[in-house]
Amino acid sequence: MNKFVIVDIETTGHSPKKGDRIIQFAGVVIENEKIVDIYTTYINPEIPISPFITELTGIDNEQVATAPLFHEVAEDIIQLLDGACFVAHNVHFDYTFLQEQLEINNFPLLNCPLLDTVEMTRIFMPTIESLKLNDIATFAGFDHDRPHQADSDAFVTAEWFLTLLQKINTFPKRTINQLRKYSKGLRTNLYEILDEIYEKKTETKEKFPEHLEIYRGIVYKKQKLIDNQSEQIIDGNQEYDLEDFINKDKLRAEQWNLVEYIYKCLSDGELSLVEADLTQKKELSYLLAATALSIIKQEPVVVSLATIGNQQMVVDEVLPQLKSILKVPIHVQLLKGKQQYLNLWKFERVLKDENQNYDEIITKMQMLVWLTETETGDVSEINLSSAGIQFLKKISDITIAEADHNNPWKNRDFYKNAINNAQHAQVILTNHHFLMANRSKVLPNVNMNYCIIDDAHLFEKNAEKYFGKRLSYSSLKFYLNQLGSPEQLKLVGKIEKLIKDKSIYTKESTLMIQNYLQDFSEKGEEFFQLCYHLLKTSKKDSEQGKISLQIEIHENDSLLYCWERFYDAYLNIHQAFYQRLLALLDNYQNMTDQEKLLVEDFAFLIKQLTQISDMQQEFTMEDVKNIIWLEADLKSPQSTIVWKSLPVDIHEQLADFYLSKKAVLFISHSLTIKNSFAYTSEQLGLDSFPYVSKQFQTNINKEVSVHLYAMNDIPNILEVSEEEFIEIISNHIIAIAQTVQGKLFITFSSYEMLKKAYNLIKDSELLDEFVLLAQGVSGGSVHRLAKQFNRFEKALFFSTTSHIETLQLEGKIDAMIVVRLPFASPNEPVFANRLKVIKSKGKSPFYELSLPDAILRFKHSYIKYLKLNHTKGFFIVFDKRIFDSKYGPAFIDSLPTVSMNIVDLPELCQCLEDV
C-alpha cells in the first residue's frame, strides 16, 4: 500500500437510515509517507443542522446553504479514494456512513482496505491517556484550532498517521513480526502495513537498539536496578539538619514552615494530623521532609495516597520539582500490589495461545509495544479497554507460575525488581489499599517505621473497603460464561479434554460435572432473582442512584433457604473442580506451556469463585462485626445486584497499624471543622492515642477570586412539592448557564433529583448550545463523563456529591452549584448503622456524625473548585439552610477565608455579568 486517504466527515447525527446526512467531507492524500493533496468541501444536507451539532462542529445552516449536494460531489470522492487505503479516526463510522450515503444516492460502493488510527493508537501508543483526536493533537503538539471540523480533523489525523508509521519503523524486526502475526485477527488491514515494513527490515542487517534486549523471543527494555545511594550521602560522624539536603532559598517561607513541621513530627515519632495551606504544594513539602529524614535515619519513608492515579500525579508533576530543590540525589520508588506488574513467564505462554478474541489480540499487541518502553512493568501505564482489563486480570494471577521452579523469568521479574529498588529508595510511594494489605510489613527485611498518609480525609473509607467483601450477580454470570459446559470449547471443555488426553483419574465423571454446573447456575439464578424481588420493595439510597437493603439472611426464611441451596451447589462444583485441579497439578511439570496455561486459568476461576465461600462466612458470623447489605443500580437493578460487607469499624485494625510504626503523619487540605481536628481524629481511631495536630491557615491572595453565593429565592424543599422545587432549581440553573456561557458543575445529594432536573432542563431546549452530561443518565461511567466535560467550553455536568472527590476535573470551570447541602443519605447502610450506634450511646447522631460529615463533604467540594480556578469562579449554594439554620455558619466557618453573599437570581446574574 502506497496511497492512503485520511478521511473525516461531519454529519447531522449518527444514522443515515434515520435521515442523518454528511455536512462536510475532507480527504488528505498521502503517498510515499508525504501529504500530497487535500480535498475538502461542505455539503448541503437538505435538512436543518441542530444547535448541538453547530456547537460541536462550528458548522451552521448558513454555511451549508449554498454548498453542493452530496450527489454533486460523490464522483469526486469516489475518484479520490480509487486505489487508496481508507484511513480515519474510528474508521468504521466514517466508512459505513459514507457507504450508506453512496447507496442512498445510487452510487457504486467503495471497496477500500481500511486502517483505523484509533486502533493503531491503542496498539502503538499503549500508554497514551486519551484516544480522542483533540487530546492526541495536544499530546503531539499539532495545530488543531478547529476541532470537529472535517478539514482540520483530517489533517491532524494525517499528521498522526505519519507519526504512527514512523514509530512502527523504529521497532525491532522481532517485535514487528510478532505484531504482524497478531494483526491478522484485527478488523482492519493493519497486517499489510506491518508485513511491508517487516519485509523491508529483512532486506537489511538490523542494528539492535542498545536500550533493548531480547529473551525467549520477547523484546523488552532493559531494567534498571538501584543501589543504595544514601550511604554515599552522609557521614555517620556528623550531625545534619534539613538545610544540608534542601535548597531553602528555592522555597517560600510558608512552604519551608510546612517542611520543617512535617520533618519534626516524623523525627520525634509522633502520630500527627496536618491540614495544609491550600496555596502550598503539600506533596512537595512532605517529600522534601521525607527525603531528609530517610537519609539521616537510614530508613525509607512510606508515602501513601488515595489512588494509583494520585501516585502517578506525584511522579509526573512533583518529582521533577523535588529533584530541582534537593542538594542530593534521590530515588523515589513507586510500589503497588504484585498483580499490578506484568508476569513475563505467564505472558510468554499467553502469546502462544491461538484461541483469542479481538480484545485479547489488541491487548497482546499493546503489551508487546509497551515492553519496549516500560522500565517498571507496571500495567497501569497501559490504556486498556474494559475487556483488556479483564484479560489482564486473568494473566496476572501468578500463584502456580510462582511455584514453578522452571520459571525462566525469575531474574527478570518486574515486581521482584520493584521490591529490590524499593529496598534502596529513600521514599516509597504507594496507595491506601496497598498500605492496608501490607500494613504489618511493606518490604521484606526492611523496617518501615515512618509513614505519611496523604489524602487523609479518604483514608478511613479506603481502609474500610480493603476489609470488605462482595459477591455480585454480574461476576457470577461472567465466571459461568468463562467456564462454559463440557461440550463447549471453553475452559471446562478444554479441562475435560486435557484430563482425558492425559488419562488422569478423577472421581466425578464429565457428566457429573455437567450436572453440577447446571445445578450451580440454576441455583445462583434463583438466589439472585429472589434478591432482586427483595430489593424492589426496599428504600432507595438516592445519593448514588442505588437501591440498598440491609438484611440479616437468617431473618428471612425464603432467602436463607435459597442461599443454602445455592451454597450447596457451589460446594459440589468447587469440590469437583478442586479435585480436578489437584490431579492436574500432579502432572503439571510434564505439561506443555499451553497446557500449563490452561491449568492456571482453571485455578484462577476456582480462586475467583471463593467469593461465595467468603460471603458464607459473613452470613454465618456469630459476632456482628460486619454490616451486610444488598445493593443495585437504579438504572438496571436486575443485572447489578451485589452483596456487600464492611466492618462496623476498623479502629482495632488501625490501632495495630499505628502501634507498628514509629511515626505516622496524616495530611490533607481538609481535615478540620471550625479549626478543630476532633471529628477527623475520631474517624481515624486516634482518640485513644496521643497525637499532635496543626492547621496551616490558607490566605487567599487577591489574584484568586472565587465568590461564594447563597440563594435566598429558592424555597426549603419541605415547603413545596418536590416537582415544584425541581422546577425552581432547574430555572435557576438555566439562567446561570445562559449568563455565564461556559462550564457549570452541579452537585446533588439526591440521584433522583439530579435525574429529574437534568431531564427537565434538557426537555426545555433552552440550553441546546450546551453539552449536558449527567451521572447515571448519559452514557458511560461518571469518570468517563468527567473526561468529556473537560473537553467542552460550554457544558453542564450533573453529579452527586459523593463522586466529586475522585473525579479528574481539569481546566477552568466557570461556576459550581451545590443544590443541597451534602448530608449523607440515612438509607446508606454503613452510614445508617453508624447513626444507630451513636444514638444507642445517648448521643446526637446529627451533631456527632451527620453534620460534621456534611461539613467536610462541603469543604472538599469548595477546595476542589478553588484549586481548579486560580483566577475567578463562582461557588453557588441553592440551600437556604446555609444561612437560616443554626448550624449553617459551621459550613462557612470551616472554609478558607471567604465571605458569603446572599442574593436572589437577578442579583446573582448581575454579579456574574459584572465580574
Q: Parse the chain into domains and list their residue ranges.
A: 3-170, 171-225+342-404, 240-341+413-466+650-699, 469-647, 705-914
Q: Which of 223, 220, 120 is nearest to 174 (CA)?
A: 220
Q: How confident is the model at residue 398 (pLDDT cuts 50, 70, 90)?
A: low
Task: Return the pLDDT at 467.
Answer: 87
Q: How many whole angstroms from its chain centre is CA 559?
A: 35
3-state secondary structure 522-568: HHHHHHHHHHHHHHHCCCEECCCCEEEEECCHHHCHHHHHHHHHHHH
Share of the chain above pLDDT 70, in %: 94
Q: Which of 371, 308, 369, 314 is nearest to 342 (CA)?
A: 371
Task: Return the pLDDT at 715.
Answer: 93
**Overall average pLDDT of the 530-554 stretch:** 78
pLDDT digits (tens, 9 = 90+) for 783-832: 778 777 887 888 999 998 877 766 777 778 899 999 999 998 888 888 88
Q: Which of 466, 628, 631 is nearest to 553 (CA)?
A: 628
231, pLDDT greater than 50:
no
Highest CATH level, class, for 3-170: alpha beta
Task: Return the pLDDT at 780.
Answer: 67
Spatial separation of the C-alpha atoms in residues 310 and 454, rounded to whole Å: 10
CATH number (3.40.50.9100, 3.40.50.670, 3.40.50.410, 3.40.50.300) of 240-341+413-466+650-699 reads: 3.40.50.300
Q: How confident is the model at residue 230 (pLDDT cuts 50, 70, 90)?
A: very low
232, pLDDT greater than 60:
no
365, pLDDT greater than 60:
yes
Q: Which residues contact 200 (CB under 8 A, 6 or more apart)?
A: none
Highest CATH level, class, for 705-914: alpha beta
Most confidently predicted of 7-21, 703-717, 863-877 = 7-21
User: CB-hemisphere CA count at 13 Å for 407?
Assistant: 19
Q: How confident is the model at residue 36 (pLDDT cuts 50, 70, 90)?
A: very high
**Overall average pLDDT of the 400-425 stretch:** 78
Task: Return the pLDDT at 355.
Answer: 66
Spatial separation of the C-alpha atoms in residues 582 and 518, rounded to whole Å: 23
Q: How confident is the model at residue 872 (pLDDT cuts 50, 70, 90)?
A: confident
**Overall average pLDDT of the 681-704 stretch:** 84
pLDDT digits (tens, 9 = 90+) for 303-315: 999 877 788 888 8
Task: Return the pLDDT at 163.
Answer: 96
Q: Which of 12, 17, 66 is nearest to 42 (CA)?
A: 66
526, pLDDT greater than 90:
yes
Q: How many whole angstroms from its chain centre is CA 416?
A: 26
Measure the CA angle with vertex 741, ends 739 and 745; round to 5°: 95
Residues in the chain: 915
Task: Return the pLDDT at 294.
Answer: 92
User: CB-hemisphere CA count at 13 Å for 817?
Assistant: 23
Q: For residues 800-815, b (16+ Cβ closer than 10 Å) or e, as one string?
A: bbbbbbebebeeebbb
Number of other CB atoms surrounding residue 532 within 10 Å: 18
pTM for the structure as a whole? 0.83
Most confidently predicted of 130-139, 422-431, 518-527, 627-636 = 518-527
CB-based contact 743:793 (threshold 8 Å): yes
Cell of 98: 459514507
**Overall average pLDDT of the 532-540 stretch:** 79
Give the sheet arrangement for strand 450-453, strand by strand: 332-334, 427-431, 301-305, 450-453, 663-668, 271-275, 692-695
Q: How confident is the model at residue 624 (pLDDT cuts 50, 70, 90)?
A: low
> Which runs of E-coded beta strand occur in 281-435?
301-305, 332-334, 427-431
**Overall average pLDDT of the 690-711 stretch:** 81
CB-based contact 462:433 (threshold 8 Å): yes
Q: How confident is the model at residue 400 (pLDDT cuts 50, 70, 90)?
A: low
Task: Return the pLDDT at 280.
Answer: 81
Residue 539 to residues 530, 549, 642, Cα–Cα distance (Å) = 17, 7, 16
Helix ranges (DSSP H) in 203-338? 253-267, 282-297, 308-313, 319-325
Q: How confident is the model at residue 520 (pLDDT cuts 50, 70, 90)?
A: very high
CB-based contact 282:258 (threshold 8 Å): yes
pLDDT digits (tens, 9 = 90+) for 315-346: 888 999 999 999 988 899 888 888 888 888 88
Domains 3-170 and 705-914 share a fold: no
Spatial separation of the C-alpha atoms in residues 865 and 873, rounded to whole Å: 8
Concatenate the DSSP letters of all residues of 141-184 into one string.
T---SSTTSHHHHHHHHHHHHHHHHHHHHHS-HHHHHHHHHHHT
Task: Return the pLDDT at 236.
Answer: 58
Pick from 474-478, 527-531, 550-554, 852-856: least confident: 550-554
Q: How confident is the model at residue 666 (pLDDT cuts 50, 70, 90)?
A: very high
